[in-house]
Structure formats: C-alpha cells, structure tokens
Structure 1
C-alpha cells in the first residue's frame, strides 16, 4: 500500500458565533497516498476552497488536525508552517499568480530562491520542469507573452519545482477553454505518475474530475466518495 502523505481527522470549520454559526466543514477525515490524484467537487460555496486552505495550513480549523508528511499543522509555529509548506507542498490556483516582471524560468525558480538555492542551480531546476510541462521553448518569456494555457503550465511547474509531497490545486482550469483544460488535467495525471507527487484538485467540472484516481464530494460540510 502506498505511503500516506496527507491526512486529516475530525476536521471542522465553523464561522460566526452563537445562532449565527455557519458550519463549512463538519468532522471531515481524509487520507491521500503518494502519487494519488483526488478531485473535490461540490456546489459553489460548499467549502471546497476552505478545505484546501486547511489542508495547506493557510487557515486554522475550529477542531481536528491535518498531517503533512507526518507533521501536524497545529504543532507548528507560523514560521515552521512556512518552511514546511516550501518543502512539502505546491499550490496552483485558478489565476496563475505569476510575477509579471519575471521570466518563466524565474517565476518557476522563485520557491527555490526563497529556499536559498543559488540562482544558477534554481534556474536549472526550473528549466527542467518547464521542459517537462512542454515549455522548454518559452523559458525567457514573461507572463504577458504566454497564452493562458502556457501561464497555467508555468504555474504547475512552479508548484512542482520543490519536488513536494502534495500539490493543492483550486479550480486550476477555471479560466481555460475546454481543450486547454483537458490538456492541463492530462498533465496533472502524467506528472502524478512520473514524479510520485499527490494532487488534491478542486473542480466544478465532473467530467474532468472523473479523470483523476478518486472523486470526493463536499456537501453540507461532509466529504464523501462521489461514486457512492
């Protein structure tokens, strides 16, 4: 059985106080294995993005805990969380969040610069990942010179350049046309198999989500197997 790289137990998130309480997540438990790709689907406002934020240690749960690569978010200081995220996690969003003044190589290498890797070594690693996502010919282009699909591929390369245990992707194809979205999903699957990284991907598109290893549905604060 594959190693579990992410797990949560009894995860709950409640906003508000007293009669105004809104329960977004209710006692959610979840395991993710190395190299596994899981889609999270659900209606708009069902808490999918909140769930990703909690998994990534970007928000605090009301109760429960999340373990990434064997360590608990609740046991870490903010500084430790930042260091652990840089080492073990990658993030991809609906908007690419690339820095406009930097080239594709520099954008992808940014997490390695933050880690303190020398620029030459970081750029070489970034180039390798850009080649893997099919952008070896666009290394020195800035985001303005890239198409929407190319920008998102660059964002994926940036998420993977640190060789994380887990990548969290929040509607990564939401701004793309259908054909490009299909290509990005295929890329996620291929990279998951090739590199052993695990993906949790939020999507509003059941057809695309079905291409991943598992599909989970978030509804009324409860996470369940969408195939049941």
Structure 2
C-alpha cells in the first residue's frame, strides 16, 4: 500500500494468474474508491446511491408520497434512496424496481422481474402502482462491444426506450432521469425530450467518476404528450 496525493492509502492489485489487466484496473479502482467504502458503511447496495442522492439534493425530484419507477434497478442502490425520500417504507409513497435480474428485497420497494421493453410492461406497472407514475429513473448502461460508434448507438437506444416507457406511464408534470454518456449521438433524444418536458438539462453528480463521460439527462415537467416516442 502507498498513499495517494490526498493522503489516503492506495491499494495496488498485483497481476498474475488468469487476471487480465482490465480486471486488475477495475478491482484496483473499486478498492480505492471512497464512495464504494462509504456505501458499505451506510448500508447501500452500490456507490450509485450517492449519485441519485446528490442529484435529488440539488434538484428535488423525489418528494414524499410520490410513485417512482426504477428501471434496471439491480442491485438496488437507487431504489434504496427513492424509498426513503418518497416515504414508501412507511406506506406514504410507492417505489417499483424493475430488472431482468433477481434482486434481494428492499424495505418499501416492490420488485418486478420483467423486461420493461415488453409490450405489456406499462400496463403491468400501472396495475402494480394502481395509477400513474411521478418519476421514472434509470441508471442502466448498455453492454459494450468496444466499438465506439456501436456502443454510443446502443447506449442512446436504451435511453430512448426508457424515455418511451416513461412517456407511457408518467403523470402530467412527471420527471424522467436517465444515465447517458457524453457524445453527439444524443441530440435527437434531447430534442424529443424538450418537446415533451418543460425543462431538460444534463447533470453530473460528484459521485460520478470524473474521468468518465457519464452524465445524466434530467427532464422535468412532463406535458403528457401521448405517443411521443417509438420504441426501438
């Protein structure tokens, strides 16, 4: 171990065996990430919880009594934050987490293991919530191939599908929050969001790694335009 520029101890992972360099670098980054350490202390399932926490502290998108949908929710860090802030733990609000993967139970969160792209997904969700949704949020990222243009199209396609889902279930005045990566490929997405939401902006919480192009698109004030999007 050695100390970094901030005085913190820095863990170095040795190479060897079957471990690839990319795996070594990822593990080293995780072990030295203060948000990963803090998440374990605070009982959050992922460091991503702090991203939503910071975004909501600044923009106040989660309010007591709201209905929230967390797309691609596993392992559940965002759902944990949402459950606390809308009061679903005490029965005041509702949080539905959707993912293809299984996810252990979270107090105040209803989990649905399903594909949000399925034709019947919006109807199934409305039945679970018994009405409309105030916030649709997504911290999903598409699987990458290593080919930059292909990956950008995959990422934007996933966000466009999340936006299409949101347009089908959001209440008028609702909010959509989704992870994107800075590129020129999202211009069409932003244009569509600006037609259907009163305010659209990009946000980058401090918990996002500064060397990453990751950022979030935040659309507030859904105008209730039916059929504004087509699923990919």
Q: Same fold (TM over 0.5)?
A: no
State the TM-score, normalizing by the size of structure 1. Answer: 0.33
State the TM-score, normalizing by the size of structure 2. Answer: 0.32
Q: Which structure has the larger Rg over C-alpha atoms?
A: 2
